[in-house]
């Protein structure tokens, strides 16, 4: 799936252009020196956001590995439990980068504004999903995606994916773990 995210024009148009996940040239940006996992496990960048923030696999293996987002502004957190899970998140809630610190109700407003500003969102998402062989009817709801983000930010996998900076201190959490 990763190769399609970086080469199929329909997938690239949606994921890089709409969801801000650019897998076309992951080597064009490197993590800041010293950024690593507290556990010592491998942190492998495979995509970047337009801002230079990084999408990274955790540990060894393939596309089934947990995915963390590492921001240049000093925040990081678990986004997904594997690339297929991340792809679903991006198809359903590409506005996820605006989620940190917001309540689920506030996220609904963010999602509405995002879709309003991108009138061809559904068409572009449909084209990208078809390019990846994903059945849109099998995607989770937006409410389910929001609940997953909150739940995962608190869970044991998130604790195992703690990212620290060059000074050894944990980066700020990507999501507000105090959400209900």
Quote the pTM value: 0.89
If DSSP codes are grouped into helix, strand and coil, which group holds residue 109? helix
Distance between CA 47 and CA 16 in Å, rounded? 9
- Note down pLDDT in tens along the chain; length 180 residues: 888 888 999 999 999 989 999 999 867 767 888 899 999 999 999 999 988 889 999 999 999 999 999 988 888 999 999 999 999 999 998 887 776 667 767 877 888 888 888 888 889 999 999 999 999 889 998 888 878 887 888 888 988 999 999 899 999 887 665 544
Count of the separate structural domains present in the chain: 1
Confirm if 33 and 164 have CB atoms less than 8 A apart.
Answer: no
Domain presence at residue 177: no
Kindly report the backbone phi and psi dihedral angles of residue 163, in degrees, each rounded to the nearest multiple of 5, phi listed first: -100, 135
Domain presence at residue 175: no
Domain presence at residue 172: no
* Contacts by residues 27-35 (CB-CB < 8 Å, ≥ 24 positions apart): 29/54, 31/56, 31/70, 32/72, 32/165, 32/166, 33/166, 34/165, 34/166, 34/167, 35/70, 35/163, 35/164, 35/165, 35/166, 35/171
Domain presence at residue 104: yes
């Amino acid at each position: 799936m990763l190769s399609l995210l970086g080469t199929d024009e329909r997938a690239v148009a949606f994921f890089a252009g709409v969801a801000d996940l650019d897998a076309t040239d992951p080597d064009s940006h490197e993590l800041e020196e010293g950024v690593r996992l507290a556990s010592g496990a491998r942190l492998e960048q495979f995509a970047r956001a337009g801002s230079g923030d990084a999408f990274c696999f955790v540990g060894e293996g393939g596309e089934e590995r947990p995915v963390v987002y590492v921001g240049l502004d000093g925040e990081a957190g678990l986004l997904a439990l594997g690339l297929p899970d991340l792809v679903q998140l991006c198809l359903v809630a590409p506005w996820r980068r605006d989620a940190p610190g917001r309540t689920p109700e506030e996220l609904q407003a963010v999602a509405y504004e995002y879709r309003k500003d991108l009138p061809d969102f559904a068409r572009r998402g449909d084209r990208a999903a078809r390019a990846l062989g994903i059945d849109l009817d099998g995607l989770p709801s937006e409410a389910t995606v929001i609940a997953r983000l909150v739940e995962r930010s608190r869970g044991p996998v998130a604790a195992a994916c703690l990212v620290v900076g060059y000074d050894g201190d944990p980066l700020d959490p990507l999501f507000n773990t105090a959400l209900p």
